[in-house]
A and B are shown apart, each in its own frame.
Chain A
Amino acid sequence: MTQSSRKPPTHVQSVIKRFLENRLALVGLIVLTILVIGSLGAHLFSPYSYSAQDLGYGARGPTLKHLFGTDPLGRDLFTRVLFGGRVSILVGVAATLVALCIGVTYGAFSGFLGGWVDRLLMRVVDILYAFPFTIFVIILMVLFGRNIVLLFCAIGAVEWLTMARIVRSQVMGIKKLEYIEAAITMGQSTPTIIIRHIVPNVLGPVIVYATLTIPSVMLLEAFLSFLGLGVQPPMSSWGLLIKEGADALEEYPWMLIFPGCFLSAALFSLNVVGDGLRDALDSTSVKE
């Protein structure tokens, strides 16, 4: 840590500056923004509804009327890709937020309290690592039906462990710093110290990890779609569309190509933005 890290504004500014200098990350950010705007404003960009069918006009390739073609039920694929993005992005962000909340709280307490509490909490994390979690998600979805809320929680519950570990190790470093010790001696309560002083300081690595978690959540959603456990139709998601596309790979290739490009673009840009953020935050690892 350099001198500047104690003064947040300068630190943040330098991070932004470094991030903007990374062209790949910048491109990623722009692509990401376009995807998010496209998905959130799906109803503005498309004249069709995601469920409107035209059975007689099923499975046609791209035309001017249907930019991305139609699926076998004659639904406009462009619309379904945009609406699908809404679900996929939502699942990714929401599950990551669930993971974030559990992971940060858990890790911060564990790291800050230290001693036997820390050891106990970390043992629990170790034990949970042994849970075949993907399998639990499958069981949960099979047994209790498809439910998008359940999907968020299930996925979030899988992803918080690593978050907790990262936060803990960060906190262990930070709590030895003078101003935290000063806060302790001033008699501030533990939760206050954690929320006021510790969490803001570990935010950097957490954001980086979160950006990298979203893609893996989106892939997990695709995996669940493969098992037929994804979102409830007639709603769509990228995972579901790609699954349908992969099944009709030879007959209707556009059904795979378009949603595939969108998902890949999203994952790609999230990954480069995450990498860019990490490089920008980590001032020591400027590589030549």
Chain B
Amino acid sequence: MLRGWHYLKFSSICLVGLCLFGCGAKKTAVERGNKAQILHLGNQTEPQDLDPHIVTGEPELHIISALLEGLVTEDPKDLRPIPGVAQSWDVSPDLKTYTFHVRSNALWSNGDRVTAGDFVYSCKRVLSPALGSEYAYMLFCVVNAEAYHSKKIATFDSVGVSARNDSTLIVNLAQPTPYFLALLSHTAWQPVHKATIEKYGAIDARGTAWTRPGNFVGNGAFVLKSWVLNKEIVVEKNSRYWDAQTVRLAEIHFYPIESSLTEERAFRAGQLHTTANVPPNKIAEYRLTSPKLLHVDPYLATYYYLFNVHRPPFDNVCVRKSLAMAIDRKSIADNICKGGQLPAFNFTPPGTAGFTATAHLTENLDSAKALLALAGFPDGKGFPKVELLYNTSELHQTIAQALQEMWKKNLNVDIQLVNQEWKVYLDAQKRKDYFISRAGWSGDYVDPNTFLDLWVTGGGNNRAGWSSPRYDSLINASRGALSQTLRFACYQQAESLLTSEMPILPIYFYVSSHLRATSVKGWYGTILDRHPYKYVWLDDQ
């Protein structure tokens, strides 16, 4: 502390001249941005790349959503699919064939027309095995898409995506997929400009130079202006965009700021319009002093723990339920997360596309103790040495320590904490080399299916190794269901099966929290934390 003061004095003396000269009357970046319609965004990390078919992270998705537009886009308030490049579409009575009418005034940023053929080409690219797209499965609802991706068929002709002419795209689905339109706004479905891709490499070449500023050809509301690694990415308004009159922002600057503390300070100093996160410790203070700046919205994701159902003692459902009942979720959400997270008593976040599970796990200490005794460990006696695995992070560590203490206090069960660094943790989870493991799942699209199909037998992301024929048949039945009511009935049963079997231990439903300047308009809290930038503008009052 002493030292801070020393430098404080020293610097003020040495640099006061410089400052008077430098920043005396200067306005902050936010104030200047408000005048010029330049939005400054905190965007977590440096994007891996800007190739929509390769990237996987949220920061990348944010930037790409400004640069490219799919067949449908999202409503800024509720993310409902609305016409994008396709001005309209028809669905066949069996719900398996979609015919999209591509608008004739949709242009690439170099002036070329966006055609139905561009979408066929883009689908072919995503499904090319050599490209190694991690989101190729977003296309697997299309006829033969999976077969082409796994090289079972050699030509793309039999895959259910075809262009009748420049303005008509036909997509054939393997089975009715009620959430198909919601999938279309995902980056894996976004178009790429064929001539540009092939100028810098083959269709399935990774990491070519096409995504660099100057090379990038997009069809979104913005075009890529500059990209300085780890410093900022600037996109500017695309004058050739078909709906350019709606777009009011002149530029967006995306800043990769990993530390939420640094980000919050930059926001306070007027360098950012919005932040990607809020440090949990700051939430209470903002709520008290400047609630207008703090925005906390539900986010389509669940924080939970996995039980390894193949390892004793967690092969016993009583043990799993006992542990799940013996914790205080509300206390964790209120005292640790502090952002208004909802305690989770089932797996799918409430209100996902209109679905709220009726299944509800009850926290009950007496039942928990009774179940533990039933499993052969009365008062925790003889409970084997088990470990709780989590990946290194302040929040996970705090929650794990809190749960460890709750189990110790309530059930007299000793659980060791093991933290591993991200990649190691993922590998351990994949090999099922754990007892209990932290996990989180965020929805890829707004539908309960993105959560519930996780636990089908042999599912690629089923890291609990749990398997139930009844569950599988329920999920399968939901896919064939022709009405929403029938479909949701299947999901309700699936949820209650999860609650009675407890292969996972839900803890809380995420929220997204941001600090946002009051001048930002047209920006709404959405469940996927996406905010179509074409509707955003800055109020200079």
Known pairs A72-B336, A73-B336, A145-B421; A233 contacts B401 (CB<8 A): yes
Residues of B within 8 A of A73 (CB): 335-336, 398, 401-402
| Residues B397 and A55 in contact, CB atoms below 8 Å apart | no
* Residue B44 CB within 8 A of the other chain: no
Closest Cβ of chain A to B346, distance in Å, is 23
Segment of A95-103, A207-215, A247-255 in the binding face: A247-255
Q: Given known contacts A228-B392, A232-B417, is B402 in contact with A251 (CB within 8 Å)?
A: no
Q: How far is the CB of B496 from chain A (nearest CB, A)?
A: 30
Render B310-352 as a binary contact track against A, CB cut-off 8 A, 1 for contact.
0000000000000000001001100110000000000000000
* Bound CA span A72–B392, Å: 18
Stretch in B277-285, B373-381, B449-457, B469-477 touching the partner: B277-285
- Total interface residues in chain B, CB < 8 Å: 26
A250: chain B residues within 8 A (beta carbon): 285
Are A234 and B336 touching (Cβ within 8 A)? no
CB of B370 to closest CB in A, whole Å: 25
Interface flag for A149 (CB, 8 Å): no
| A58–B332 CA distance with the chains assembled, in angstroms | 11
- Contact A257 to B1, CB < 8 A, known contacts A58-B335, A234-B417, A247-B279: yes
Give the residues from 224 to 242 in chain A that come closer than 8 angstroms, CB to CB, to chain B.
228, 232-234
Q: In the complex, which residue of chain B has the Cβ closest to the Cβ of A53?
A: B405
Contact in complex: B421, A247 (CB < 8 Å): no
Residue B420 interfacial (CB < 8 Å) = yes
Which residues on A sit within 8 Å (CB–CB) of B421? 142, 145
Pairwise interchain contact B401-A53, C-beta atoms closer than 8 A:
yes
Q: How far is the CA of A252 from the CA of B261 in the complex (A)?
A: 14
Binary CB contact string for chain B from 41 to 65 against chain A (1 if under 8 A, 0 otherwise): 0000000000000000000000000
For residue A132, CB closer than 8 A to chain B, the reply is no
Q: B261 contacts which chain A residues (CB < 8 A)?
A: 247
How near does chain A come to B15, taking the closest CB pair, in angstroms? Answer: 23
Which residues of chain A are within 8 angstroms of B285 by Cβ–Cβ distance? 250-251
Which residues from chain B contact A251 at a C-beta distance below 8 Å? 281-282, 284-285
Q: Which residue of B lies closest to A234 (CB)?
A: B401
Given A56-B331, A145-B420, A146-B419, A252-B405 contact (CB < 8 Å): no
Whether B424 contacts A145 by the Cβ 8 Å rule is: yes
Closest residue to A252 on the B side, CB-wise?
A: B281
Q: Which of A18-66 contact B (CB under 8 A)?
A: 51-53, 55-56, 58-59
Tell me, in angstroms, the Cα distance from A251 to B280 when the chains sit together. 11
Interface centre among B1, B397, B405 (most CB of A within 10 A): B405
CA distance A74 to B335 in the complex (A): 9
B356 adjacent to chain A (CB < 8 Å) = no
CB-contact partner of A55 in B282, B284, B331, under 8 A: B331
Distance in angstroms from A65 CB to nearest chain B CB is 18
Contact yes or no, A72 B335, CB < 8 A: yes
Query: Does B211 sit within 8 A of A, measured CB to CB?
Result: no
Residue pair A233, B424 in contact (C-beta under 8 Å): no
A276 contacts B by Cβ under 8 Å: no
**In the complex with contacts A72-B398, A260-B1, A56-B417 CB distance below 8 A:** no
B167 contacts partner chain A, Cβ-Cβ < 8 Å: no
**Complex CA distance for A11 and B405, rounded to whole angstroms:** 56
Contact partners of A52 in chain B: CB under 8 A? 405
Among A72, A233, A248, which residue has its beta carbon within 8 angstroms of that of B417?
A233
A143 to chain B, nearest CB (A): 8
Residues of B within 8 A of A142 (CB): 421
Q: Provide the residues of chain B in CB contact with A146, threshold 8 Å.
A: 419
The CA-CA distance from A250 to B98 in the complex, in Å, is 56
Instruction: Knowing A72-B335, A248-B281, A257-B1 are in contact, say whether A53-B392 is a contact too (CB < 8 A).
Output: no
B373-412 CB mask vs A (1 if < 8 Å, else 0) is 0000000000000000000111001100110110000000
Chain B residues with Cβ below 8 Å from A145 are 420-421, 424
| Distance of B107 from chain A, by nearest CB (Å) | 47
Min CB–CB distance A234 → chain B (angstroms): 5
Alpha-carbon gap, A63 to B28, bound state (A):
41
Question: Chain A contacts of B417 at CB under 8 A?
Answer: 232-234
Q: Of residues 143 to 189 in A, which have CB atoms within 8 Å of B's CB atoms?
A: 145-146
Give the distance in Å from the alpha carbon of A210 to the alpha carbon of B332 in the complex.
Answer: 45
- Residues on B with C-beta less than 8 A from A59 are 281
Contacts of A56 in B (CB 8 A): 331, 335
Complex CA distance for A142 and B392, rounded to whole angstroms: 10
Cα–Cα distance between A59 and B281 once the two chains are bound (Å): 10
A58 contacts which chain B residues (CB < 8 A)?
335
A104 CA / B417 CA spacing, docked (Å)? 38
Rounded to whole angstroms, the CA-CA distance of A72 and B280 in the bound complex is 10
List of B residues within 8 angstroms of A232 by Cβ: 417, 419
Residues of B within 8 A of A72 (CB): 281, 335-336, 398
CB distance from A27 to the nearest CB of B (A): 17
* B279 with A51: CB separation less than 8 A: no
Q: Give min CB distance, B265 to chain A, whole Å.
A: 10
CA of A72 to CA of B397, assembled, Å? 12
Closest to B418 in A: A232
Question: In this complex, which of A52, A55, A145, A250 has the most chain B Cβ atoms within 10 angstroms of its Cβ?
Answer: A55
**Structural contact, A55 and B401, CB atoms closer than 8 A:** no
Taken residue by residue from 280 to 307, chain B's Cβ proximity to chain A (1 for < 8 Å, 0 otherwise) reads as 0110110000000000000000000000
Q: In the assembled complex, how far is the CB of residue B212 from the closest CB belonging to chain A, in whole angstroms?
A: 30
B393: chain A residues at CB < 8 Å are 228
Using Cβ atoms and an 8 Å threshold, which residues of chain A touch B279? 247
Cα A287 to Cα B279 in complex, Å, equals: 52
B397: chain A residues at CB < 8 Å are 233
- Chain A residues with Cβ below 8 Å from B282 are 251
Residue of B nearest to A227 (CB): B392
A141 to chain B, nearest CB (A): 9
Whole-angstrom distance between the alpha carbons of A145 and B405 in the complex? 23
Shortest Cβ distance from A251 into chain B, in angstroms?
5
> Which residue of the partner chain A has the closest CB to B338?
A72
Tell me the B231-269 residues at the A interface (CB within 8 Å): 261
Per-residue CB proximity of A81-93 to B under 8 Å, as 1/0? 0000000000000
Whole-angstrom CA separation of A176 from B1 in the bound complex: 50
- In the complex, A247 Cα to B260 Cα: how many Å? 10
Name the distance in Å between B235's Cβ and chain A's nearest Cβ.
Answer: 32
Give CA–CA (A252, B419) in the complex, Å. 26
- How far does the alpha carbon of A188 sit from the alpha carbon of B328 in the complex, in Å? 72
**A83–B398 Cα gap in the complex (Å)?**
18
What distance in Å separates the Cβ of B281 from its nearest Cβ neighbour in chain A?
Answer: 5
B417-431 contacts to A (CB < 8 Å): 417, 419-421, 424
A145 to chain B, nearest CB (A): 6
Q: Which residue of B lies closest to A248 (CB)?
A: B281
Nearest CB in chain A: distance from B403 CB, A: 10
Taking CB atoms, residues of chain B closer than 8 Å to A53 are 401-402, 405
A55–B403 Cα gap in the complex (Å)? 11
5 CB < 8 A contacts A-B: A53-B402, A73-B335, A74-B335, A142-B421, A251-B282
Taking A73-B336, A248-B281, A257-B1 as known contacts, 10 extra A-B pairs with beta carbons closer than 8 A to each other, sorted by chain A number, are A53-B401, A53-B405, A55-B331, A55-B402, A145-B420, A145-B421, A234-B404, A247-B281, A250-B285, A251-B285
Q: 6 tightest CB-CB pairs across the interface, nearest first?
A: A55-B335, A53-B405, A251-B281, A55-B331, A248-B281, A234-B401
